[in-house]
Amino acid sequence: MIRALSHPVYRRLFVAQVVALAGTGLATVALGLLAYDLAGPRAGAVLGTALAIKMVAYVVVAPLAAAVVARLPRRRVLVGADVLRCAVAAALPFVGAVWQVYLLIFVLQAASATFTPTFQSVIPDVLPDEDDYTAALSLSRLAYDLESVLSPVLAAALLLVVPFTSLFAGTSVGFAASALLVLTVTIPRTGSAGVPDSSDASGTAAGDDETGEDGPFAARVRRGASVLVRTPALRPVLALNLAVAAAGAFVIVQSVVIVRDTFGQGDGTVALVLAANGAGSMLGAFALPRLLRRVDERRVMLTGAALLTGATALVPLALRVADPRAGLVAIGALWVVVGLGWAAAETPVGRLIRRSVPGRDLPAAFAGQFSLSHACWLVTYPVAGWLGAVGLARAALVLAVVAAGASVAAAALWPRTTGTVAARRPAERTEVTTR
């Protein structure tokens, strides 16, 4: 992973991602405190609605934004999204009503739904080497895990000396720093850094009657999802998105209930249990670059799906442990396995998209993946919550069945010809195209 950071452009982009995620982590903590300040005992309902709004923004806005900004320079898009996020974060401390929180959260997440897929589409052009790009994917995964683990700690330290509204200032600083770092780099045009482009002379993917940047707006909105569905190598990803969301939603939604109600422990233990999930994911991110040099993505990703499915299915047994400490150790161990499987199933997706999609369609493809993957979370979040209210063990088993079904579907959909070790030569990577 260190080799990828030796590239100056990628190094600055990675630092931009890290500081933006750090700001996002501070905003997550501050938003919970703001919700309690505005709604008191109804803070949970406010946060739940805000989370749903976040998912809706991700699902709806990502393909729309990809179509709107298709003709714009990607650096301008990234900076514009950061500036908008900076302004929204700066405005949050001044809201006086819950509806204003909802509105600003939608705008903030809409900007993120524009920034993230565009950022993801830039990295393959900055790092044309397959091993470097794999390392970048793992570094990105680590950045997200560190955000979920370290940002709450940083927020807790800051709250000792400043009011919670000041955390939003830290969020604004993070987005502003990200924008400044992006301004210091030159971003190549789409597909210009050696990424295989299987388009014909007109720039249209072989066998695809839709156009890319130059097509009608409605066609450009559908472009990303269409590419994913029409590309055999990417259809398994759609199923794996559901497997990851099923297990991940249970972890995120029900950890606090398991710790507080089932085992009678405090808030600090909730953070430790969630950190166990992040630790498992980080372990997977560290191992993947070396593993993917020897093992093909199919085996790695399906094994990851099997791990998170099996761990979720074992939750009812852990919930039956009588001793609270032993029960929490068991849950923590299962969360580590879920995190490990999560990283293994999700991190290599960028490699498959990069290899399978014409260069000019990368922004649309990443936007489609961003939107469709979050659509799975939009479904599994409420399912995990509603079923958990009936019974935690039942909820875990249902979501494990969903993850298992999705994993089996992914295995059935996976073309055997794409399952070669990733270290093949660039010329060999053009074999899988949209059709």
Whole-angstrom Cα distance, residue 278 to residue 124? Answer: 25
Question: Does residue 359 or residue 128 have the better pLDDT?
Answer: 128
pLDDT class of 424 with cuts at 50, 70, 90: very low
* Owner of token pair 């700066």: 90
pLDDT surpasses 70 at 434:
no
- Residue 230 near residue 403, CB atoms below 8 Å: no
Distances in Å between the alpha carbon of 380 and those of 5, 385, 403?
35, 8, 11
Which amino acid does the sequence have at 367?
A: A
pLDDT surpasses 80 at 150:
no
Q: Write the DSSP string, 177-227.
A: HHHHHHHTSPPPPTT-SS----B-TTSPBTT--S-STTS-HHHHHHHHHHH
pLDDT surpasses 80 at 374:
yes
- Residue 275 near residue 251, CB atoms below 8 Å: no
pLDDT surpasses 90 at 415:
no
Which pLDDT score is estimated for 218?
A: 61
Q: Write the DSSP string, 55-77.
A: HHHHHHHHHHHHHHTTTS-HHHH
DSSP 3-state of 359: helix
Average pLDDT over residues 310-317: 97
Whole-angstrom Cα distance, residue 197 to residue 101? Answer: 43
- Residue 86 near residue 169, CB atoms below 8 Å: no
- Residue 234 near residue 353, CB atoms below 8 Å: yes
Average pLDDT over residues 139-163: 75
Which pLDDT score is estimated for 332?
A: 94
Q: Which tokens sit at 194? A: 């050696």
Which amino acid does the sequence have at 94?
A: F
Nearest CA among 169, 152, 362 for reference residue 270: 152
Whole-angstrom Cα distance, residue 281 to residue 345? Answer: 10
DSSP 3-state of 53: helix
Model pLDDT for residues 55-107, shown as the tens digit of each residue = 888 888 888 887 787 778 889 999 999 999 999 999 999 988 889 988 998 99
Return the H-helix or E-strand segment holding 173. helix 165-183
Mean pLDDT of the chain: 82
- Residue 384 near residue 253, CB atoms below 8 Å: yes
Question: Does residue 104 or residue 145 have the better pLDDT?
Answer: 104
pLDDT surpasses 80 at 291:
yes
pLDDT surpasses 60 at 194:
no
The alpha carbon of residue 401 and the mean position of all alpha carbons in its chain are separated, in whole angstroms, by 22
Model pLDDT for residues 210-256, shown as the tens digit of each residue = 444 555 556 666 777 888 888 899 999 999 999 999 999 999 888 88
Which pLDDT score is estimated for 221?
A: 65
Which pLDDT score is estimated for 426?
A: 41
Which pLDDT score is estimated for 427?
A: 37
Q: What is the DSSP letter of 322?
A: S
Average pLDDT over residues 159-179: 89
Which pLDDT score is estimated for 13?
A: 93
Percent pLDDT > 70 in the chain is 84
